[in-house]
Structure 1
Amino acid sequence: MNRFRAVIYLVVLLCTGCVKTAGIPPADLTLSSFALSPNNLFTAHVSSTVDLQSAFNDYEKSNQLTPTLICSLNRDMEFSSEHSIAIKAEGRVNASSQAKPNYKFSSDLIFYYTNPDGTQRDLNDYDAIKPLLASQASIPCKVRITAYGYEAYYTNTMSIPSKFMIEQLFS
Structure 2
Amino acid sequence: MSRSRSAICLVILLCTGCVKTAGIPPADLTLSSFALSSNNLFTAYFSYTVDLQNAFNDYEKSNQLTPTLICSLNRDIDFSSEHSIAIKAEGRVDASSQATPNYKFSSDLIVYYSNADGPQRDLNDYDAIKPLLASQASIPCKVRITAYGYEAYYTNTLFIPSRVMIEQIFR
TM-score normalised to structure 1 length: 0.88
| Distance in 1 between residues matched to 2:61 and 2:166, nearest whole Å | 41
| Aligned match of 1:124 | 124
* d(CA) in 2 for partners of 1:80, 1:118: 17
What letter corresponds to residue 130 of structure 1 in structure 2?
K
State the alpha-carbon separation in 2 of the partners of residues 100 and 64 from structure 1.
Answer: 20
Q: Deviations over 1:137-160 (max 9, x none)?
A: 000000000000000000000100
User: Counterpart of 1:91 in structure 2: which amino acid?
Assistant: G
Task: Please show how residues 69-148 of structure 1 align to structure 2 within 5 Å.
Answer: 69-97=69-97, 103-148=103-148
Give the RMSD, CA atoms, in angstroms.
1.9
Match of 1:161 in 2: 161
Instruction: Report the secondary structure of 2:45's partner residue.
Output: strand
For residues 62 and 100 of structure 2, the distance between their equivalents in structure 1, rounded to whole angstroms, comes to 17
Give the match's secondary structure for 1:107: strand
Identity of aligned residues (%): 88
What is the TM-score when the length of structure 2 is the normalising length?
Answer: 0.88
Give, as a single letter, the amino acid of the residue that structure 1 aligns with 2:154. Answer: Y
Cα distance in 2 for residues equivalent to 1:129 and 1:49:
31
Distance in 2 between residues matched to 1:15 and 1:81, nearest whole Å: 21
- Residue 152 of structure 2 aligns with an amino acid whose one-letter code is A
Deviation of 1:100 after TM superposition, in Å, equals 7.1
Report the equivalent of 2:19.
19
> What is the CA deviation profile of residues 58-92 of structure 1, one whole-angstrom value per residue up to 9, with x for unaligned ones?
00000000000000000000011000000000000
**Larger radius of gyration between Structure 1 and Structure 2:** 2
The runs of 5 or more residues in structure 2 that have no matched partner are: 1-9
Partner in structure 2 of residue 7 of structure 1: none
In the TM superposition, what is the alpha-carbon distance from 1:15 to its structure 2 partner? 6.0
Comparing 108-117 and 16-25, the one that deviates more: 16-25
1:41 corresponds in structure 2 to: 41
Q: Is the 8 A contact 1:91 1:109 kept in 2?
A: yes
Q: Aligned pairs, how many?
A: 161
- Pair 1:101–1:128, CA change in 2 (3 A): same
